[in-house]
Amino acid sequence: MQKTEELKARRDQAVAKGVATRSIYAKRAQNSELWDADGKRYIDFAAGIAVNNAGHRHPRLMAAVARQAEAFTHTCFHVAPYEDYIRLAERLNSATPGDFKKKTMLVTTGAEAVENAVKMARAYTGRSGVIAFSGGFHGRTLMGMALCGKVAPYKKGFGAMPPEVFHVPFPNTYHGITPEMSLAQLDSLFKSSVDPERVAAMIIEPVQGEGGFNVADFDFLKQLRKIADQLGIVLIADEVQAGMARTGKLFAFEHAGVAADLVTMAKGLAGGFPLSAVTGRAEIVDAAPVGGIGGTYAGNPLAVAAANAMLDVIEDEDLCACADEVGNRIKERLTAIADRQGMEVIGDVRGLGAMVAFELVTDRQSRTPDPALTQAIVAEAEARGLIILPCGTRSNVVRLLPPLTTPIDQVDEALDILEASIEVAVSKTPNTV
């Protein structure tokens, strides 16, 4: 651990304190494996937070980026545009749900995609209000923070948020919030707090990421589509974490048979290279004035090359089917663990495809969150060579995001480590059953 400790000390001296990090300093990685600065091997069930859906350094992505680097690395699309940007836009227009004419813009981060989707919706409707949902995560910019439904650490200490952003409870039946209750709260919001004729957009994650991998009820999403149509509101699907085959379909909204007006995507889009996109109804995307949207690095050529290769890999290697296979194996194992005597601390196992989580509670009757146990499991898994992540508004959910290309024997190896980590953490952590 000599090199790791050295890097940690240097990081503490040189890097902003607010940039949270783990104690794994990466040296190299391949597919679902990662080695740290001291040569320790890990199985990566974080995938860069749902970025490396095709694993670390997929050879087809690496080859595409290398070819592009031989041509040019940056021109700025506003100055000297290039064909691959157009080709990627054409492919995303065809791939996103909805039988209507679409257009696409490329940017760099998920937060940028969300910001631009809101700008498009406001320009199109002439309205300014935006509705988001509790537990949602939409980025760290000012508008992104305002839309987020989790205070710590994303909003805490950063002062006033942009106005005219409203929140409605996200349906979470495990914690007693039914889809009907959420819809009733939306109706109440329209009657008591904001005129729907002032609302430009509603934005929702079909599967919440930071919020705890809560899966939106499919009928609820259909009702949102109906309400948006009735009231002239733009429906935005935030597919930044759930998209790009992660849930067993290219986009998670497809599970509900619903087409949003705008789709934001990032993370898995370019398989490890910074790229995001907004794709949606042509008339909405085109509502912004010429020059009103974009950015110097938006649609970087290297990232665009990776994204075009990523779409090829998703299709050719059937990563949607891989997500279902890997996810089902994880859920079956977690359910079996939860059914064991002494494992009543696992209150819920949930997810779609290979976007799986389990929630930790002190007991299944009160469902009181147990963030201490959650952190203990994450730490024990890391010590044993498995990278997993916590999440949830109460910090009591463990999320599992393996690359969709993870070999099944490594999935099983990771689950063995996870099971042992849960057992050890339960035995050591106070206030658990």
Q: Please, what are the domains in the chain? A: 2-54+318-428 (3.90.1150.10), 61-316 (3.40.640.10)
Q: What percent of the chain has pLDDT over 70?
A: 99
**Token pair of 203 as six digits:** 């934005």
Q: Is residue 154 very low, low, confident or very high in pLDDT (cuts 50, 70, 90)?
A: confident
Q: How many CB atoms lie within 10 A of CB 220?
A: 19
pLDDT range class, residue 59, cuts 50, 70, 90: very high
**Cβ pair 66, 72 in contact under 8 A:** no
Q: Write out the two tokens for 310.
A: 């990523």
pLDDT band at 426 (very low <50, low <70, confident <90, very high): very high
**What pLDDT, in 10s, does the model give residues 163-199?**
999 999 999 999 999 999 999 999 999 999 999 999 9
**CA 279 – CA 261 distance, rounded (Å):** 8
Instruction: Taking residues 224-238, report their average pLDDT.
Output: 98
83-127 tens-digit pLDDT: 999 999 999 999 999 999 999 999 999 999 999 999 999 999 999
Helical ranges in 317-370 per DSSP H: 319-338
Task: Give me 178's structure tokens.
Answer: 């039914």
pLDDT score of 431 more than 80:
no
Beta strands in 39-174 (DSSP E): 41-44, 102-107, 129-133, 165-168
| Measured distance CA(122)–CA(198) in Å, rounded | 10
343: which 2 tokens? 């494992």
Contact criterion met (CB below 8 Å) for 140 and 154: yes
Q: Read off the tokens for 283.
A: 């008339």
d(CA 405, CA 60) in angstroms, rounded, equals 13
Cα–Cα distance measured from residue 212 to residue 349, given in angstroms and rounded to the nearest whole number: 11
Please state at what angle helix 83-95 crosses helix 301-316, rounded to 10 degrees. Answer: 40
* pLDDT tens per residue across span 319-329: 999 999 999 99
Distance of alpha carbon 263 from alpha carbon 92, whole angstroms: 10
Alpha-carbon gap, residue 172 to 160, rounded angstroms: 28
* pLDDT band of 1, cuts 50, 70, 90: low
pLDDT at 159: 87
pLDDT over 50 at 432, yes or no: no
Lowest mean pLDDT among 134-148, 150-164, 216-230: 150-164
With 0.95 as the threshold, say if the pTM is over it: yes
Bridge partner residues of 279 (DSSP):
104, 263
Residue range 374-399, pLDDT digits in tens: 999 999 999 999 999 999 999 999 99
> Cα separation of 373 and 353, whole Å?
25
Using the predicted structure, report yes or no on whether residue 153 has a pLDDT greater than 90: no
- Spatial separation of the C-alpha atoms in residues 187 and 178, rounded to whole Å: 14
pLDDT at 373: 97
- Tally Cβ neighbours within 10 Å of residue 124: 22
Task: Return the closest-CA partner of residue 93 out of 259, 275, 322.
Answer: 259
- The closest of 378, 423, 387, 392 to 406, measured between CA atoms, is 387
What pLDDT does 433 receive? 43
Instruction: Tell how many helices (H) and how many strands (E) occur in the chain.
Output: 13, 15
Work out the widest C-alpha separation in the chain, in whole angstroms: 64
pLDDT tens sequence across 349-371: 999 999 999 999 999 999 999 99
**What three-state secondary structure class fits 161?**
coil
Is a pLDDT exceeding 60 seen at residue 130? yes
Q: Radius of gyration of the chain from Cα atoms? A: 21
Dihedral class, residue 431 (left if φ above 0, else alpha if ψ from -120 to 50, else beta): left
